[in-house]
Structure 1
Amino acid sequence: MLDGCTPWPEELVRQYIRQGYWIAKSLADLLEEQARAFAERVFVADGDRKLTFGEVNRLSDLVAFHLLDRGFKPRDIVLLQFPNIWEFIVVFFALQKIGVIPVMCLPPHRHSELTSFARLTGAKGYFFSPRFRNFDYLAMAREIQSAVPTMEYLVAAGDSAETGVSYLGPWLEQSVQPRKLAASLAPYRPDPFDVAFLHLSGGTTGVPKLIPRTHADYICNARACARVLGWDQNTVFVMAIPAAHNFSLGAPGMVAVLTAGGSVALSPSTEPEAVFAVIERQKGTFLPVSPALLIMLLNSPHQNKYDLSSLRVVCAGGQKMLPELVDRTWATWSFATPGHAFGMAEGLTNLTRPGDPREVIRETQGRPVSPADEIQIVDEDGREVPLGAVGELITRGPYTIRGYYHAEEHNRIAFTAEGFYRTGDMVRLHPSGNLVVEGRKKDMINRGGEKISAEEVENLMLGHESIHMAAVVAMPDPVMGERGCAYVIPKPGRTLTLEELTSFLLEKKIAKFKLPERLELVESFPLTGVGKVSKKTLREQIAAKLKT
């Protein structure tokens, strides 16, 4: 296994293989298998461009061929940061063809996060779209390359002639004999039980930690999702959430669609009209959303301009969907069933099923997708709580990691001696056998499904010349669920505005979704019995203030 990763115990490896949860097949093998079976069927739709299974396989072969020519080799690590464009899927599988391991970066990530990922992994390359939503990723790419000595290659979508940048366009236009491609790529096919890519954690202690997902475990995860959802060749997965998110990628996203022989319809943004247009044009059947995005869609006055009747499931993930929102979804789109996806990039995926009783869909966040998923609900001492009581969810199984990448110290905290992952989610067991999420144990803000580390933002804030002490907490919000509120004790004689604070943080090149959206200037912080800042009290104070 890749250096810095924790393997599953040998007895579990043998068990998962014997029971059929793990198969000796890489993600590249899976694509090639489906390309043979469905060569002329559409796999990816991106605006006017449609790519069949066969075309995605051929184009990914071409990109892989040129990556080898540039000097990439198996187990090299790269940063992959594309918006929802067809090139994301082609490049993702090209990397899988030759065992190059991508870090699955999100479009909002900026210099601070990307440089951290690159330094931790010794990243050899950065794959990006030169400009997206008026941001110059090319300029940022050069900054990152200057800051990270291992960053040899920049690879961009499109067709241009910038010095020091390889563009995908010319590669994809070249003609290479299939036999030559196959012969060139064959020696580099990765081990199915090795790491395929590195996901990002929600991150509670600064920059997100990296999650090593293997070919075998991720295919297991994807197949289980497709099976319990009843997906088949008629499934059309509408990808509006960023493609690199676990929800979009395979749990139950694109890789699960691949296992079922269905198709992916890419939305260029989460703007309601863009999403509605994709659903109408591509006859989307499955729409993954965050609750915040779902509220935007339901509130949009434009929905009646589009035919959305092809939808069969609207599935909310990243954050708990309240029963009132479930009811509203049913009332507005009677042709679709609301659903929940409660999971984590570390592994465990819980889904409600389309055939679950209505009250179960309203009140719960699903149940594990695999019979081999092991879950326990425990108290602070690690003892299982009584049936129906609230406790922390811990889990292990054939697609839940055994440790973060190069994080030995944190792994001792995040995993039990028996290999159970401590999720930090506080849950209880519903009489139906499904899980009900009651909150988070960790100090994290969940802004519309995007996880924000309070500590990361606080550490940056303390660099401001006017700030003596800082604490960032979640404040309730009817649309996003939570937003960040910054409490600040100013230095003597100083003051601060929210605009000044956000401008300062943007200079630190962090993602915009992490910015505090309210500022409270105070003279002191409430303290716990052991002298620590009582964030519980601060959360209660801001919640009460918002009600008045």
Structure 2
Amino acid sequence: MEFDAVLLPPRRAASVAQGHWADKTVNALLDAAVAAHPDRMALTALRSDAAEPRRFTYRALAEMADRIAVGLSRLGVGRNDVVAMQLPNWWQFSLLALACARLGAVINPLMPIFRERELSFMLRHGEAKVFVVPAQFRGFDHAAMARALQAELPTLQHVVVVGSGGADDFEALLSGPAWEKERDAEDILHRGRPGPDDIVQLIYTSGTTGEPKGVLHSANTLLANIRPYAERLGLSSADTVFMASPMAHQTGFMYGLLMPILLHCPAVLQDIWDPARAVQAIRAAGATFTMASTPFLTDLTRAVREGGEGVPTLRTFLCAGAPIPGPLVQQARETLGTKIVSAWGMTENGAVTLIRLDDADERAYTTDGCPLPGVELKVVDFDGTELPRGESGKLLVRAASNFGGYLKRPHLNGTDAEGWFDTGDLARMDADGYIRISGRSKDVIIRGGENIPVFEVESLLYKHPAVLQVAVVAYPDERLGERACAVVVPKPGQSIDLPEIVRFLKAEKVAVQYAPEKLIVLDAMPATPSGKIQKFKLRELVQNVPA
């Protein structure tokens, strides 16, 4: 496939000259780690259904990446082909991504919660050649879904299943045979290797226009974020990263997969969040750092407080995806003994702002941090005029880590001629340059760090025979940050309840996490004179209605 990463060439010279683009690739990082520390533990992958984790040293990690890469080539995968994977935080996730880098193929991580509706669009739009899924995960038959989707997707040549035990099994096709020892392996492993500006990752983000957007990243854009991120957090080869956030999110991919390799340090992955097991895993590995959304911090704090065993090595917990309540920061500091770092970022550019390690704890719950090196921010009004400090407006970002563009949709790139990217968020900036996200100009609900595509859910609910009008709005939740509420005006003579809404969306093959968790039925919507629904009034209303 040809990738229209039109945002990369205009900023290459400046990014290199300023030292933000180091022109290193994922392959160079892995090769350097192997050369420096071949026998150091690189990856420990914990599975909820397995008694023992799978472990790899850096030498073994590189050997398996080579093996899987040659196996992929046997399936016809080469430079610029898209390999999609809908995998949990299993070792196969990390190794598949590294194997694609060996070939110059583009990895397309997909969240395990996605179902037919989301996947059919993403796999078609991304022209995936191979789709890798678990046989089953959390009781769902991913293999059956993937095979059914394949019949509708002309570019999808292979479905590979982790744990199928059949001819399409991951081990049989990719990780079992010693492909790396075959006569043509050396040529395969080097002829298509990508350069630092080639696209290595295609990752979808939920938007407000009904369809996800495919974000394109190169090694230069990814590493331009990871390096200053690690430096601000004081991370080094002496650290151990614990990652329970989904690797199919940019959080897990950048800071659970790539960052440990950059640092030459171990990573520990957990596939299903279980705070009690997380405590044990952190203690066993001596983990020093983790990043996750607010619910994870809440759960880990409770698990330590109630379980009696602490996590003394966990030096830093970076919390992002939703504002962190002040009492939670205080409880976590007292219970975990861990520095809580607030941050803000996007799939399009990784973490943009972080507080500093020597900042007062208050910064973690009153701000979303200050820019990393290589990042510029400004807050503007809706006419584009920069606003004084303290005033809320549209947040624009210009960064070396900004993405290369949206696949096949350059008209949506939201970046002006000077490189300023419109984040779609509203923010204010204080006198010290710290920002606070104050709202969203785009209509997205963030539930536990997961974006809910409001427009798509509303569009589907309008198809329900009992629905005359519908709006989906956020309401606050102590654990997840936000949940979704459907506000419905039924058609005359019709009625509807929440179980029916959930049933209907499930029948439409929507991810279960996208379904509203509260329902308000009204006789009429609050609206402007032109008939536009006033969602701010609905948000006020939903705060006062119990679930």
Q: TM class by shorter-chain length?
A: over 0.9
Deviations 1:389-428 (A, max 9, x none): 11211012211125311113323xx223433111122222
The residue that corresponds to 1:325 in the other structure is 328
Q: Give 1:365 deviation, angstroms.
A: 1.2
- Letter of the 2:139 partner, please give it: N
- Contact 1:498 / 1:519 at 8 angstroms: preserved in 2? yes
Alignment partner for residue 382 of structure 2, among 377, 380, 402?
380
CA–CA distance in structure 2, aligned partners of residues 22 and 362 of structure 1: 32
CA distance in 2 between counterparts of 1:280 and 1:4 reads 45
- 2:405 is equivalent to residue 400 of structure 1: no
Matched, 1:140 2:142: no
For 1:9 and 1:82, locate their aligned partners in 2 and report how far apart those are by CA, in whole Å: 32
Q: What residue is the counterpart of 1:151 in the other structure?
A: 156
Residue of 121, 130, 133 corresponding to 1:128: 133
- Are 1:53 and 2:52 matched, yes or no? no
Corresponding residue for residue 245 of structure 1: 249
What residue is the counterpart of 2:460 in the other structure?
A: 460
Q: What is the CA distance between 1:342 and its match in structure 2?
A: 0.9
Q: What is the count of residue pairs matched by the alignment?
A: 539
Q: What is the aligned counterpart of 2:104 among 77, 80, 99?
A: 99
Change in 2 beyond 3 A, CA 1:469/1:390: same
- Alignment partner for residue 294 of structure 2, among 291, 295, 301? 291
Distance 1:539 1:126 in 2: 39
Greater alpha carbon shift after TM alignment, 168-177 vs 22-31: 168-177
Counterpart code for 1:350? T
Offset at 1:301?
Answer: 7.0
> Is residue 231–residue 262 contact of structure 1 (8 Å, CA) maintained in 2?
no
Counterpart Cα distance in 2 of 1:416 and 1:531: 32
- 2:320 & 2:455 partners in 1: Cα distance? 24
| Distance in structure 1 (CA, Å) of the matches to 2:25 and 2:5 | 18
Q: Report if the CA contact (8 A) 2:216-2:404 is conserved.
A: no
Q: CA deviation at 1:169?
A: 4.9
Correspondence 1:431 to 2:431: yes
Q: Which of 355, 364, 369 pairs up with 2:367? A: 364
- Structure 2 distance, partners of 1:406, 1:248, is 25
Match of 2:267 in 1: 264
User: Which moved further from structure 2: 321-330 or 53-62?
Assistant: 321-330
Secondary structure in 1 matching 2:283:
helix
Give the match for residue 347 of structure 1: 349
Q: Distance in 2 between matches of 1:302 and 1:274?
A: 14
Structure-1 residue corresponding to 2:232: 228
% same residue: 30
- Counterpart CA distance in 1 for 2:71 and 2:404 is 34
1:302 to partner: Cα distance:
7.0
Report the Cα distance in structure 1 between the residues aligned to 2:103 and 2:404, rounded to whole angstroms: 25
Q: 1:518 Cα shift?
A: 0.9
CA shift digits 1:166-211 (9 cap, x unpaired): 4235632333438853333111111221111112224222232111
Q: Deviations over 1:68-126 (max 9, x none)?
A: 11111111112211101111101110011111112221111111111101111222110
Partner letter of residue 199 of structure 1? I
- 1:53-132 superposed matches below 5 A: 53-132=58-137
Q: Is the 8 A contact 2:279 2:303 kept in 1?
A: no
Aligned position for 1:512: 512
CA contact (8 A) 2:468 2:489 kept: yes
Q: Is the 8 A contact 2:340 2:361 kept in 1?
A: no
1:503 paired to 2:503: yes
Aligned residue number for residue 189 of structure 2 = 185
Which residue does 2:202 correspond to in 1? 198
CA RMSD of aligned residues (A): 2.0
Alignment partners' CA distance in 1, 2:545 and 2:470 = 19
Tell me, yes or no, if the aligned pair for 1:360 and 1:432 is still in contact at 8 Å.
Answer: no
Distance 1:182 1:362 in 2: 52
Q: State whether residues 247 and 317 of structure 1, in contact with CA within 8 Å, keep that contact through their aligned partners in structure 2.
A: no
CA distance in 2, matches of 1:76, 1:282: 36
